Amino acid sequence: MASTLQPAEAAPAAVDPRILRSRRMLMDALIRLLNKKEFDAISIQEIADEATLNRATFYLHYPDKNALLQAMTAARFRDLVARRGLSFSNCDGAIRAIALGVCDYLAETTGCPTALLKMPLETSIIPVVESVFLEGAAHRTPTPGVDPTLLATTAAWAIFGAARRWFETPNRIPAEQMAAKIEAMVKPIFLSVKR
């Protein structure tokens, strides 16, 4: 599994078009396969075949299946965050927007219904949520004696956990409604130290 907090290291600023192409093809292949079968049931051989790449090429980019899943999830979620322009600058409603992003992502990526739950998505999504918070915290006068990192981590885990619980609930309430609930729960985490 890749490290938790260095997205830059995880995707080491690939420039060579061949590298980008291979990685994109692998991710696309995985997405396609995930619509057909469970993650655990997919072999690296299959992924490579589906991507029309040699199996050895896979290992050139990712140490194992999980690393690919993680990289792919992080990339897709990061993309969603970028598309929506999520940031912590426009402070109010930011938490709700982020929570909605996580909920939507979980729901949207539901190629295969029950499969997502058994995936190590937390290691992909949580760091991204965390970084959004941290980026926002940087724009702000630092409260002395408070570690913004800890705050960001705690909030990110709380949001993801809540969103995950929502997602695995049979008859879900609308994502927007859930996001509001999550905001109500998570906002106080930040206020807890703000004063």
Binding site for a copy of itself (CB under 8 A): 1, 4, 40, 117-118, 120, 122, 126, 149-151, 153-158, 160-162, 164-166, 168, 181-182, 184-189, 191-193
| 49 touches DNA (CB under 7 A) | no
**Partner from a copy of itself, DNA, none contacting 43, C-beta within 5 to 8 A by type:** DNA
The answer to whether 7 and 127 are in contact (CB under 8 A) is: yes
The one of DNA, a copy of itself, none whose footprint includes residue 96, by CB under 5 to 8 A per kind, is: none
- Extract the tokens encoding 108: 């949207």
Alpha-carbon span 20 to 87, nearest angstrom: 27
By CB under 7 A, residue 187 contacts DNA? no
Backbone phi and psi for residue 43, each to the nearest 5 degrees, phi listed first? -100, 160
Answer positive or negative: Cα dihedral of 143, 146, 152, 154: negative
User: What is the sign, positive or negative, of the torsion defined by CA atoms of 108, 70, 154, 13?
Assistant: negative
- CA distances 1 to 52, 68, 124, 165, 169, Å, are 24, 9, 10, 24, 28
For DNA, the closer CB: 18 or 83: 18
We find the least distance from the C-beta atom of residue 2 to DNA, in angstroms, to be 14
Nearer to DNA, 57 or 131 (CB): 57
Query: Which 7-26 residues touch DNA, going by CB under 7 A?
Result: 15-19, 21-22
> Which chain residues interact with DNA by CB under 7 A?
15-19, 21-22, 43-46, 52-57, 59-61, 63-65
